[in-house]
Amino acid sequence: MREWARIADETNCAVELVQHMRKGGGQGEPTAEDARGASAFVDGVRSTRVLIPMSREEASQAGVDNRRRFFRLVAGKANMALHGEGESRELVDIELPNGRAGAGDRVQAVGAWRMPDASDQVSDADLETIKVKIRAGAWRADARAKDWVGIPVAEVLEFDLKDACARKAVSAAVDSWLQRGALVRVEKRDAQRKPRTYVEAP
């Protein structure tokens, strides 16, 4: 690692290293600490990214047949950015136009991909009904709160929040609507005058 740092310094360039995960894992999602020679490798770099294959549960939720085509790219060190769930990617099959008599070679390239969520199947009418329910109360952004905004969403969509997959789908739908501006976060105080983050329908 010191030698790579010397090369980067003397040549004024960035160096990207690809590292395997150590064997014998399987206890939860892999992290940067699972890289071979983890402490020396991770401590010696400015930033790390971990490629996490799609799990069987995620494949079932997304409705994809070949989960090996999908993975998430997650920041392994928070030096330059906060940790998050990462960005999803898909291996896309591309045909190169280098064949003399018909089809050319086929290669795979990495493309952007988004995990489907409940918002993809919600009609405009259902979304308006959800907004009406949200406007009728005070709903928190925190999914652990008793008055979580996912509750009225689940009522309209007839989702059982006791089911982990359904709860995750509702949470993803709320996040999607927040990103699109269909819902907004609002900072205000609750009944005990404590500052909380609420979700409202503008």
Structure tokens given for 96: 């190169």
Query: Position of tokens 């979304």?
Result: 127
pLDDT tens for the 202 residues of the chain, in order? 899 999 999 999 999 998 888 776 556 677 777 777 667 788 888 888 888 888 888 888 777 888 999 998 888 776 655 555 678 899 999 988 887 776 788 899 999 887 776 677 788 899 999 999 999 999 999 999 999 999 999 999 888 888 877 888 888 899 889 988 999 999 999 888 999 999 999 9
Return d(Cα 22, Cα 42) in angstroms, integer. 13
- Cβ atoms of 17 and 45 within 8 Å: the answer is yes
Return d(Cα 125, Cα 95) in angstroms, integer. 41
Collapse the DSSP code of 147 into the 3-class scheme (helix H, G, I; strand E, B; otherwise coil) and give the result: coil
- What's this model's pTM, rounded to 2 decimal places? 0.57
Return d(Cα 193, Cα 97) in angstroms, integer. 65
- Cβ atoms of 20 and 38 within 8 Å: the answer is no
Total Cβ atoms within 10 A of residue 109: 9
Return d(Cα 188, Cα 178) in angstroms, integer. 17
Structure tokens given for 163: 């089911």
